[in-house]
Amino acid sequence: MADPIIRTEDLGLTGNGDRLLGSISIELERNTILGIIGPTGSGKTSFLRVINRLIEFDHGYRVSGRVYFEERDIYQPEVDLAWLRRQIGMVFALPVPLPMSIYDNLAFGPRLNGIRKRAELDELVENSLRSAYLWGEVKDRLELPALKLSGGQQQRLCLARILALKPRVVLLDDPCSGLDPISTSRIEEAILRLKKHFSFILVTNNTKQVSRVADRTAFFLYGDLVEIGPTAKIFTAPADRRTNDYLTGRFG
């Protein structure tokens, strides 16, 4: 694979003595969607948290191996974590809007980064909301508290908030869990359109969602990478029997 934007080499993770990830080597191509599937407890979310070093908020965890972002080892001591998390943003399973207006949710991060002009902030807010398929629903009520939005709208707001920081990679941790089919469809439409500008890693328990949107799919089991390949191949002719068993509902 030529010039991946993210690359892991023998990535391992232990937590309080337990092995959570073992020797994971994966590459994320630019402007693609990598889906990660596997049963609960297979290490999917832990993998995301290692990728942008959110794992460091948890005590007792130890990372081994290497994680490269644009060929830079992100676990080197000189790496600025604020910079890294702007480059590699994350949307969580449960939406977590800030307790402020819709507008201020979008403008908060850019203001911290030094953007002060109202016209520039207005443009950023509108473009981010459009990218997340939310502008048409909220453009006339941007001063409404974000917590007044529906669950699906809040999740798209959280995606828009990440996009406002202009990241290179977006990590999606089961972003449609608990959402209705219409909200799920809008999230999927957004990321399919946005992959022209960003790279995505999508962790989900919804295998049908991965089959709809992912370019490549990885199957995790008990902290191990069982196999990875083009999504069509993983879903129609997996190389490992365990992948087939999971996809056909024999376990997981």
pLDDT at 31: 95
pTM of the model: 0.93
CATH value at residue 30:
3.40.50.300
Structural domain span for residue 224? 6-95+170-247
Q: How confident is the model at residue 224 (pLDDT cuts 50, 70, 90)?
A: very high
Average of pLDDT values for 219-240? 96
What residues are paired with 172 via a beta bridge? 91, 202
- Of residues 210, 212, 194, the one with CA closest to residue 202: 210
- Within a domain: 24: yes
pLDDT of 1 strictly over 70: no
Per-residue pLDDT tens for 153-172? 999 999 999 999 999 999 99
- Within a domain: 88: yes
Q: What is the CA radius of gyration of the chain?
A: 18
HEC-encoded secondary structure of the chain: CCCCCEEEEEEEEEECCEEEEEEECCEECCCCEEEEECCCCCCHHHHHHHHCCHHHHCCCEEEEEEEEECCEECCCCCCCHHHHHHHEEEECCCCCCCCCEHHHHHHHHHHHCCCCCHHHHHHHHHHHHHHCCCHHHHCCCCCCEHHHCCHHHHHHHHHHHHHCCCCCEEEEECCCCCCCHHHHHHHHHHHHHHCCCCEEEEECCCHHHHHHHCCEEEEEECCEEEEEEEHHHHHHCCCCHHHHHHHCCCCC
- Within a domain: 150: no
Q: How confident is the model at residue 37 (pLDDT cuts 50, 70, 90)?
A: very high
Mean pLDDT (the chain, rounded)? 93
| Token duo for residue 96 | 């977590």
Percent of the chain surpassing pLDDT 90 = 85
Q: How confident is the model at residue 195 (pLDDT cuts 50, 70, 90)?
A: very high
- Within a domain: 78: yes
Q: Quote the CA–CA distance of 175 and 33 in Å, as a whole number.
A: 14
Phi then psi dihedrals of residue 28, to 5 deg: -110, 115
pLDDT of 21 strictly over 60: yes
pLDDT at 114: 87
Percent of the chain surpassing pLDDT 70 = 98
pLDDT of 252 strictly over 60: no
- Within a domain: 237: yes
pLDDT at 200: 97
pLDDT at 2: 65
- Within a domain: 70: yes
pLDDT at 60: 87
- Within a domain: 154: no
pLDDT of 78 strictly over 70: yes
- Of residues 67, 62, 3, the one with CA closest to residue 29: 3
Domain count of the chain? 1
Question: Regarding beta strands 6-15 and 61-69, do their DSSP bridges make them parallel or antiparallel, or are they unpaired?
Answer: antiparallel
pLDDT at 3: 82
Rama region for 153: left / alpha / beta (φ>0; ψ in -120 to 50; rest): alpha
Q: How confident is the model at residue 234 (pLDDT cuts 50, 70, 90)?
A: very high
Q: Quote the CA–CA distance of 14 and 16 in Å, as a whole number.
A: 7
Per-residue pLDDT tens for 57-74? 888 899 999 999 999 999
pLDDT of 17 strictly over 90: no
CA end-to-end distance (rounded Å), the chain: 30
pLDDT at 194: 94
pLDDT of 250 strictly over 90: no
- Within a domain: 146: no
| Token duo for residue 61 | 């965890």
Q: Quote the CA–CA distance of 93 and 110 in Å, as a whole number.
A: 23
